[in-house]
Amino acid sequence: MKILVANLGSTSFKYKLYELADLLGHATSTGERMLAKGGVERIGSDSSKAFVEANGLREEMVIEAPDHAAAVNLCLAQLADPKRGCLENSSELAAIGFKAVMARGISGVRKVTDQLLRAMEDCNEIAPAHNPPYVAAMRLLSQKLPEIPLVAAFETGFHQTIPDSRKIYAIPLAWSESYCVKRWGFHGASHRYIGQRTAEILNRPDLKVISCHLGGSSSLCAISGGQSIANSLGMSPQSGIPHNNRVGDFDPFALPVIMRGTGKTLEQVLADLATRSGLFGISGHNDLRDIETAAANGESRAILALEIFIEAVRHYLGSYLVALGGADAIVFTGGIGENSVLMREAICANLAFFGISVDPKANIAAKGEASFHAPESKVQLWTMPTNEELMVARQTRDLLLAN
């Protein structure tokens, strides 16, 4: 079965085309292939730019793509071009899958319908960077390409197994249901992949894994036997560990104090918390590489930002070791998790009591899928590139096969 997984921005469309075995619930890499990847940038401008990579060849071209539907059509034509041979024709495509963030009252994997798009729109305020461009493009595609099934795999879906004791905020209970105010959890596709891939590598389905997705946005997830039982992201993707420019966990009673102090409106303060806070708010730098360099040069704000980040990750790590009753593996993914030797070392420091010990040389050498625990460590430590698109492809396939 061939499935295109789409990643949408307001003026961009990127995709990966997968061929998957027609097996419901198949969760290992056997029988799976990525046939091509590509996309279009600057959709709507006079000179949109497209690229396509297939059979080891990359091509770039300037095209006319007035909207997302035109961009998708063009990409399908490129994939069906006999010189690439990725698709017999566009009708060979079983579906387009989307990594959608959240919808009011809906989660898991769903066919895209008007009702679903309206439910996503209801969450625009909670996920302002993600939901609006997805809804706009998905609506257009469902109108202009009605022959291709569209499937949304929600980020919140993997976290549906989190028990209410970790999902419900201590607010008047009716608010939880009436206004969907709960810890929904996000980064579901990434944590799902880390859970499945770790089980595949260690050849054990019953693993206790703590997945540390540390990047521009960061979260930890406790995974037991492939199921999420806790995630550090709450009702919105602005919560949990401080992100590159988003606040992370925060006391709502600080809001009126900040509004009075700055003279800003609630909307302005919320925008500051979502775009000018996190590691950037503390250090003045947006990128962890710059923060590490500034810290090495003695910038106190950068040193503090790193300390706060490490402390927040360790806070959730400790919580999840307790929630799981220990762990078999702690896995680091995302731009920071995969690349920052310093952060991995600091996050895992002095945890021998919990059976966690780093091999410093292996940590420095770790690239791609690699372990870096010391021989005496009871808990395995890994770096692992995530593959969110593959999860969306597998989920899309499962939805089609189940119906």
User: Which residues of the shown chain bind ligand ADP in the complex (CB under 6 A)?
Assistant: 215-217, 244, 287-289, 334-336, 339-340
Min dist CB 390 to ligand ADP, Å, is 16
CA 211 to CA 188: how far, in whole Å? 11
Using Cβ positions, the residue closest to ligand ADP within the complex turns out to be: 335
Please, what is the minimum distance in Å from the beta carbon of residue 270 to ligand ADP? Answer: 20
48 vs 386, which CB is nearer to ligand ADP? 386
Q: 224 vs 283, which CB is nearer to ligand ADP?
A: 283
Q: Which helix (H) or strand (E) holds 152?
A: strand 150-154
Cβ–Cβ < 8 Å for 183, 249: no
Task: Output the smallest distance, CB 192 to ligand ADP, in A.
Answer: 16
Tokens of 326: 């220990």
Tokens of 390: 């593959």
Q: Which is nearer to ligand ADP, 131 or 217 (CB)?
A: 217
Using the minimum distance from each CB to ligand ADP, give the nearer residue, 189 or 400: 189
Cα–Cα distances in angstroms (integers) from residue 112 to residues 190, 251, 268, in the given order:
22, 36, 33
Best CA proximity match to 214, nearest among 316, 131, 135: 316
CB of 332 to ligand ADP, least distance (A): 11
Give me the least distance between CB of 101 and ligand ADP, in Å please: 13
From the CB of 393, what's the least distance to ligand ADP, in Å?
Answer: 18
Sheet containing 93-100: give its strands across. Answer: 57-63, 48-54, 33-41, 13-19, 2-8, 93-100, 150-154, 109-111
User: Minimum distance from CB of 287 to ligand ADP (Å)?
Assistant: 4
Q: Is 148 helix (H, G, I), strand (E, B) or coil?
A: coil
Q: How far is the CB of 335 from ligand ADP (least distance, A)?
A: 2
Choice between 48 and 340, CB closer to ligand ADP:
340
SS3 assignment, position 16 = strand
What are residue 17's DSSP bridge partners?
Answer: 4, 36
Amino acid at 48: S
Least distance between ligand ADP and beta carbon 153 (Å): 17
CA atoms within 13 A on the CB side of 290: 10
CA dihedral (352, 358, 359, 364) in degrees, to 10, reads -160
First to last CA, the chain: 15
- Distance between CA atoms of residues 167 and 161, nearest Å: 10
| CA–CA distance, 67 with 44 (Å, rounded to integer) | 5
Tell me how far apart the alpha carbons of residues 346 and 348 are, in angstroms, rounded to a whole number. Answer: 6
Report the residue number, 225 or 335, with the smaller CB distance to ligand ADP: 335
Task: Decide whether 195 or 215 has the Cβ nearer to ligand ADP.
Answer: 215
Q: Which of 124, 126, 190 is nearest to 157 (CA)?
A: 190
Task: Give the β-pairing of 208-213 and 329-333.
Answer: parallel
Of 50 and 288, CB closest to ligand ADP? 288
Between residues 95 and 347, which has the closer beta carbon with respect to ligand ADP?
347
Least distance to ligand ADP, CB of residue 69, Å: 26
The residue (of 59 and 311) whose beta carbon lies closer to ligand ADP is 311
